[in-house]
Structure 1
Amino acid sequence: MNAQVIIMEDDSIMNAYYDRQIVTALIGVKVDTKNIESFAKEAVEFTNVEDVFLVTGEYDIIVKVKFPSYGELKEFILNKLSKLDGVLKTETMMVVNTYKERGIKFE
């Protein structure tokens, strides 16, 4: 199997799983140090971006996003977020269950 076929299969699985629910994701972004402030100022302007955090560790910025579909999340990462100045690497972590958010517990 080549990489393109694997990606297409992964996309179809993700689309099927997230087809009828809001997709929440945390995106770790490695940013060139000189671009951190400008990246953050641009990232907060996207409608689907809920939170932007400067953090320590492997990534410089964590971006929390919500989208109505997996396809829209993918489009955002590939064509918007990753195109901002200074982005070196991204890693997306999909939320599969929420136990507590903004101080509200979920059963």
Structure 2
Amino acid sequence: MSRTRHSITDETNLKILELLQENCKLGVQKISDIVGMGISTVHARIKAMEQNNIIKQYSAILDPVLLNRPTLALIFVTIRYRVPGEPDLLSQKKFCEEISKHHFVQDVFVMSGQYDVFLKVRTKDVEEMNQFIVGFLRELPAVDRTLTMFIMDNFLETQELRKLAPED
């Protein structure tokens, strides 16, 4: 098992991962040229990383402004675990599963501290964001309170894991 784990995180695989993060449409031929290995070897390494869920998916990065979703807010949510008059406890996990299905919600994080859940939400404008928060989110029984911060500018937004290093 440790041999498999080591082979997955060696220098060559990390270079392959960096290349795929930069451009997931980069062909196996080009990757093999860059890392100095044969095509079949590189292909096998990529397949192994896919099977081990190191590579979870390949996706395109879309421009939210061009697709009419320029308004970005970070919303902190405090969960109400018990509704007055209701015998059952509300589930944070169920809230997260349900809110994840909403088409404006991009990310859902469970967190420690003053708030329980952190949401990254994109809409077309402030009015639509307000409707999401007031007309939908705050109407959910599990939501006790929210704190919303609108993002004014963006200097870095990435899913890329940078400066990967092999395990010792």
TM-score under structure 2 normalisation?
0.47
Check if 1:23 corresponds to 2:83: no
- Structure 1, unmatched stretches of 5+, are 1-19
Q: Does the 8 A contact of 1:25 with 1:95 survive in 2?
A: yes
TM-score under structure 1 normalisation?
0.73
Q: 1:75 aligns with which of 106, 116, 131?
A: 131
In structure 2, the residue matched to 1:66 is 122
Matches within 5 A, 1:38-57: 38-57=94-113
Larger RCO: 1 or 2 (CA < 8 Å, sep 6+): 1
For 1:43 and 1:74, how far apart are their aligned partners in 2?
16
In structure 2, the residue matched to 1:10 is none
After superposing on structure 2, the runs of 4+ consecutive aligned residues of structure 1 that deviate more than 4 Å are none
- Structure 2, unmatched stretches of 5+, are 1-67, 82-89, 161-168
Root mean square deviation of aligned Cα: 1.8
Q: Does the 8 A contact of 1:54 with 1:61 survive in 2?
A: yes
Equivalent pairs counted in the alignment come to: 85
Looking at CA atoms only, which structure, 1 or 2, has the larger radius of gyration?
A: 2
Q: Percent identity of the aligned residues? A: 29
Structure having the higher strand fraction is 1
TM-superposed deviation, 1:32 = 2.3
